[in-house]
Chain A
Amino acid sequence: MNDLAFRIFLRFAGLSLLAVGGAAAVLPEANRQLVEGEHWFSAQQFAEIFAIAQVAPGPNVIVFPLFGWTLAGWSGFLAATLGILGPSSILALGLARTLRRNAEAPWLKRLKGALIPLAVGLMAANGYVLARAADANLLLACVTFAAAGFVVYSSRSPLWAMAAGAFLAVAAGRLGWM
């Protein structure tokens, strides 16, 4: 494993156990470390990689292997995947038996309940950080606003909102509005 891949592994392994309530919760911290700390991506690139990962099926966490791949090809891909999934997976497997035995325990329910408000706040922070990077003009800010409304008020696939946003931006580009 080369030097960059090793650094990717260490960064992502450090993020793995911070993902309370899902992978999206750790994205603002990933942004802080990868964009502001390491300067591996511009804020705009970070938002675009997130968008590409949203188009693929499967869990949100797959954005991390894509960060690694973009930075360092296959070795980065492998390092990022092992880093982001390794520590949390070892913890889950290590605690699986204990947790299953205590599935009805009050402290576990309370822990789950305690993490929900954090997950909500971090998800909103993720959206805010991405919007700051992605919304370069008024049209794009409107796309963000509309997509947020679409998620809240429609049960259709969020892919529709992404397709509409992409289509609008291409049309605006062709018309010279962007």
Chain B
Amino acid sequence: MTRIDLFLGFLKLGAIGFGGVGPLTRRIVVEERRWLDEAEFAALLGLCQALPGANVCNFALMLGDRFCGPSGGLCALAGLLVAPLAFLLVIASFFAAFAHHPDLRAALAGAAAAAAGLALGTALKMLKNLPRTPLLLGVAAVAFAAVALARLPLPLVLGVLAPASFFFGRGRS
């Protein structure tokens, strides 16, 4: 596997990953390119979920690094981001150019309301699919209240809740 393979594989993932790249990552990495088997994929993704930062970006970095060293990681990350960023700048320029058209103002307001709903829905879906232990519900509720309602700084919230969640999560898998 070369750095160009890595770039092209993640280029495809970024270019066709509309509405979230999660499920598509597995399809391309495991089924299509056969870079990792199921178990290796799950293990590597698990590592990325324990790291701060965008999960898929960390995944690209760590997969590339595994095969071609740090420069391979950067090639994979560049491949992942180049198409979405190009696409984004085109639509953002379009919105900026017609920013005062009333229909476009309304469309953007409607899309923003829907996007807020998507974020809320994603949180609800996570709650639906996860085992709802008292720890999960408690920590999630406190994090929500502290950040959304009390508007406390995130470093403070994480500094208190992450160790608490780690400590009280003891003994659970």
Contact = CB atoms under 8 A, between A and B. Distances in A.
Task: Please determine whether chains A and B interact with each other in the same assembly.
Answer: yes
B88 A52 contact: yes
Nearest to B148: A125
Interface in B93-146: 95, 102-103, 105-128, 130, 135-144
A16 B117 contact: no
In which size bucket is the chain B interface?
35 or more
A151 interface: yes
Contacts, number: 370
Contacts of B91: 52, 55-56
Nearest to B24: A57
A124 B53 contact: no
A40 interface: no
A140 interface: yes
Contact of A148 (B56, B62, B117, B170): B117
A116 interface: yes
A145 to B, nearest CB: 6
Contacts of B119: 24, 123-124, 126-127, 130
B112 A96 contact: no
Nearest to A46: B112
B120 A148 contact: yes
B161 A130 contact: no
Contact of A54 (B109, B115, B126, B139): B115
Given A52-B91, A56-B91, A134 B116 contact: yes
Contacts of B55: 21-22, 59
Given A22-B55, A115-B50, A121-B141, A128 B148 contact: yes
Nearest to A64: B54
